[in-house]
Amino acid sequence: MTLSLQQNGAPLLEGKVALLTGANGGIGLAVAYAYLASGAKCVIADIPLDPSPGVAALQSQFGENVAYHHCNITDTEARHHLVTSTISQFGSIDVLFNNAAIFDMGPLLEASEEQFDRLFNVNVKGMFFLMQDVANAMVEAGKGGKIINMASQAGRRGEALVAHYCATKAAVISYTQSAALALAEHGITVNGISPGVVDTPMWDHVDALFAKYENRKPGEKKKLVGEEVPLGRMGVPNDIAGTALFLASSLSDYITAQTYNVDGGNVMS
């Protein structure tokens, strides 16, 4: 299902340009569908050199309104190039869906500096400095804008095996609040989305790690976490896309510094 909304008879994001990272699949791809179907032009950025079949399908459906860029957000020059090339191609950046992230886990007493650096470089450093680059472009354009940072329910609590990842996502929530206050005078809203357990290819990797460290059978952890959600199932990418569309649109103009739990009731705050 592709989300698409209209306001006053016009597509909700008509005339808007959105930059989405980590969008070659999963949640990012679902959000790209929603934005494009609601009238936006989208630049999809991710690590692979070539777009996925899902992105190729978007390009086939939406033509010149969607472009794919290979980008490693931990690389300063690559981030700058992503922002400048998006503006060069489409004229502006009105929405940033700041989604690129990686996951890893392991026993706290065995946690390495390499794992720490890898997670924080992508999930925090890359996230923050891309937000900064886009915010500077938005301020220069003088039209305001929408920044949406992807957090996680892991950022709301600690987990024995997931210390570094939890800390990175807690940082995303904190930076979202600080950036919202810093950018309010420029008409830029900054909000976050905190998903719970979402059935994407990444969860196969997560499940395999839990199987290793908790001595479980493959698939067991994934089944258990889905059953423990109050709504009785894991989320799917489109469950996140609705909130991402709302936060990118004029419907959320008076909302900033918030991080929305989209998790089937796992976290209440």
Task: Indicate the pTM of the whole model.
Answer: 0.95
Residue 266 lies in a domain: no
The closest alpha carbon to 131, from 178, 200, 61, belongs to 178
Give the count of beta carbons closer than 10 Å to the beta carbon of residue 133: 20
Is residue 1 in some structural domain?
no
154: domain CATH number is 3.40.50.720
Decide if 4 is inside a domain: no
- What pLDDT is recorded for position 52? 97
Give me the pLDDT at residue 9, please. 66
Flag residues of the chain having pLDDT under 70: 1-9
Q: Hey, what are 206's tokens?
A: 């997560």
Question: Considering the domain boundaries, does residue 7 fall inside one?
Answer: no
What is the predicted pLDDT for the residue at 1?
Answer: 44
Active-site residue flag, 68: no
Backbone torsions φ then ψ of 198, nearest 5 degrees: -120, 130
Per the domain annotation, does 182 fall within a domain?
A: yes
Place of tokens 């059935």: 199
* Domain co-membership, 123 together with 139: yes
Beta bridge partners of 46: 70
Does some domain include residue 80? yes
Task: Identify which of 232, 166, 226 has the alpha carbon closest to the alpha carbon of residue 198.
Answer: 226
**What pLDDT, on the 0 to 100 scale, is given for residue 110?**
96
Whether 127 and 220 map to the same domain: the answer is no
Annotated catalytic residue: which of 165, 213, 254, 260? 165
- DSSP code per residue over 167-197: HHHHHHHHHHHHHHHHHGGGTEEEEEEEE-S
Q: How far apart are CA 267 and CA 269, in angstroms?
A: 6
Q: Where are the alpha helices (DSSP H) in the chain?
A: 26-37, 53-62, 76-90, 113-120, 127-141, 163-183, 201-213, 220-228, 237-248
Which residues make Cβ contacts (< 8 Å) with residue 53, sequence separation at least 6?
A: none
Predicted confidence at residue 33, as pLDDT, reads 98
Clarify whether residues 69 and 49 are in a common domain. yes
CA distance 88 to 90: 6
Would residue 3 count as lying in a domain?
no
Q: Are residues 99 and 172 in the same domain?
A: yes
Q: What is the pLDDT of residue 10?
A: 76
Looking at residue 7, its pLDDT comes to 64
Number of independent structural domains in the chain: 2
Residue 145 and residue 22 in one domain:
yes
Structure tokens at 257: 């510094």
